[in-house]
Amino acid sequence: MKAQRGFTLLESIVALAILAVVLIPLYTLIGNAMSSMLRARDAADRAADELNALAALETINPALRPQGTLQLGTVQMVWRALEAVPPVLGADYPTGTSSFAIALYDLDVELRDAKGQVRAQFPARRIGWRNGR
């Protein structure tokens, strides 16, 4: 009588069980790596949005626009400024005093997505000026 070649049903079940024991942790590892990658991408996107917002704040004079909104691509920046240091007349050379009153402002900045949900929120400090005379 010839010997049969191939796997028996029991051998196949044992092989599948061993394969499952090996693959389940591998799938868990892949899932964790994917979620970590997505979190890192979201953090990088948020950091880029915050840098864009800080660059846009350089063009805003909080003494003249204490609050407002500005569209930055797909992100909307909303800010509110409160006077942190009262205004003083600036120094001017050679006369001694400037015609501008300068004050320091604390800004509360929010970055919102297209749905209006807050993506990031951070404080900032800016100098504001207006004609003081």
pLDDT tens by residue, 11-25: 889 999 999 998 999
CA-to-CA distance for 19 and 91, rounded, in angstroms? 78
Number of H helices, E strands in the chain: 1, 4
Within the chain, what is the greatest distance between any pair of CA atoms? Answer: 117
Low-confidence ranges of the chain (pLDDT < 50): none
CA-to-CA distance for 132 and 98, rounded, in angstroms? 8
